[in-house]
Chain A
Amino acid sequence: MAQIFKPNANAIIRVSIITGILLIIGIILTMVAIYRSTYYTEVGVAKAQSVPFSHKHHVSELKIDCRYCHATVERAAFAGIPTTDTCMSCHSQIWLNSPLLETVRESYRTGEPVQWSRIYDLPDFVYFNHSIHVNKGVGCNVCHGQVDQMQLVSQAQPLYMGWCLDCHRNPEQYVRPREEVFNMEWAPPENQLEMGRRLVQEYEIKVENLSDCYICHR
C-alpha cells in the first residue's frame, strides 16, 4: 500500500498551524484596529454639510449661546436642530446675498427643511437624554469637544460604552456647576473631586443606579 503522507507532510502541517494561528491573530488585530480607527469612530472627521455653517464663527467670535439654536437641550431628549426661522432671524438682516446661504433662503421661501448630516448617531438600543445631563451639570464640551473651535463640526468622542460608563461610575470627576454647562472654555479646576462630590450630592445624582443596564438600555 502506498504511503498516505509524503515525507514533507510534517513541515506542511507545521506551516499550516503557524499560518493559521498568525491569521487568526492578524484578523483580530485588524478588527481591533478598524474598531478603534477614525474610519469606524469618525472622531475628528468633519462632515460636509449642505450649508457650510461655522460653529467657530458663531460661537467663538459672535459669542452666541448654544441654546440660541439648540433650544430644547434643557427640556428634551433631543437638543434640537434650529429651524430655518432661527437662521433667518439674523440672516434676513446680514449676509443677505451670500451664495453660501442660498440653501437657507430657499428653505425659507419654499418651506422645505434644510438637510443636515448627522454627526452624533448613537445605536438605536441606547437611550440618551440631553436635558438630564445638562440639568445635572454635564457640560456640552465633555462629549462634544471644543465645538467653538470647529469650522465644520466633527465627532469629538468615539461613544464607546466604556466611555459612557467611566462618567456614570465616577460622575464627581466630570460634573460642574450648572451655570458653567454652556461655557465652552470651562476646564476642571484643581479641586474638581472635592467640588464634584459636593455637586453630586447637591444635584441628587443617584450614583448607585447610574451604571444599571436600564439607565441607557430601555
Chain B
Amino acid sequence: MIEILLFFIGASLLLYVLLGGSDYGAGILEMLPAGKLREAQKHLINEAMGPVWEANHVWLIVLVVILFMGFPGVFVPLMTYLHVPMLALLVGIVIRGATFTFRHYDAVQEEKSQRVYTWLFSGSSIWTAFWLGVIAASLGRGLIDVETRDVWSAYFAPWIGWYPAAVGVFVICIFAFLASVYLIGETEEPELRRLFLRRAAVFNVLVVLAGGLVFAASYGEKENLPAVFFAHPLTLGVLVVATGLFVALWVFVQKHRTALTRIVAAGQVTLILLGWWLLYAPNALITAQGKINFYEAAAPEATLWQLVLALLVGSCFIFPSLFFLLKVFKTKGREEF
C-alpha cells in the first residue's frame, strides 16, 4: 500500500515538474531580452499558460497533502528544519500566481503596469524555481539535525551551501529548457519559433553546465555526488541516457516534429528525477541522526487506506478532466476571452 502512495508521490512530483515547471520556465524566459518579439512572446505565454497553470499548480498541493496525511514523519521535520526556504518558496508562489493573473486581467493594458507585472512574474518564477532546488537538495545532505538546540545549525545550516545553490540554478535551467521546447510547438510564427529554438539550444547547454556545477559543488558535501551516482549502474545509466537523448531532441527539432521534441525533453527531465529517486529511495530524508524512510514515517494503516482511496477515486475524476482540458486547449486555433 505504501508502494501505491510512493507511486502517487512520484507521479505528482513528476507532473509538477513537467507541467508546473514549464510554467515557471515561461516566466524565466520572459526575463530574457526578446527585442521586438517581447509582446508576441508575452501574448503566447498568456495563451499557453492561462487555461492550465492553476491545474498544473495543484500537483504541488497534492504532493503536500499526501505527505502530511500519509507521511507526517517526513512532513514535520521538513517544515520545521527547512522553515526558511519553505517561506521563501511560498512568497514566490504567491507573487508569481497573483501577478500572472493580474497581468492578464488588468482591464487597462498599459505599458507601465504591464512591465511591473511581467517583472514580478518572471522575477518570482526564477526565485521560486531556485528555492525548489534548494529544498530538493537539502533533503539528502544529512545536515538536518533534529537534536540540536543551536539556531544556526538547526534552521540555517541544512540548506545553506554551494550544493543547494547549484541545484537551485540547475532547476532554473531545467524549467527554462522545458518551457523553450514546449513553446516552440505553441506557435506558427516563424520568428517566434526561431526565438524559442535559440533559447532551447542555449538552455540545453546551460542545463549541462549547471549539471556539472551540481556535481562539482557536491564535493563540499558529506557524500559527493559523482561517487554515489557512478557507483551504481542504474543511476549511471539514467544519467547517460538522459544526456544522450539530447541528440534525439535535436534531430526531432530539425525535422519539426513538435510532439516528439516535447516527449524527448520531458523524458530527459523524467530520467533526471528518476536518477534522483534511485539515489535515495525509499528514504525520504537524510538527517544527521540517520535516514528517515517512507515506510517508517508513514501514518497508521487505516489512514493510508483512506488516502489511497481518495487518490484512486480522485484520479478517476482528475485524469479525464485533465485530458479534456489539454484536448480543448492544446490543439490549434484557440479563441480566448
Q: Do A and B come from one complex?
A: no
- A residues whose Cβ falls under 8 Å from a Cβ of B: none
- B residues whose Cβ falls under 8 Å from a Cβ of A: none
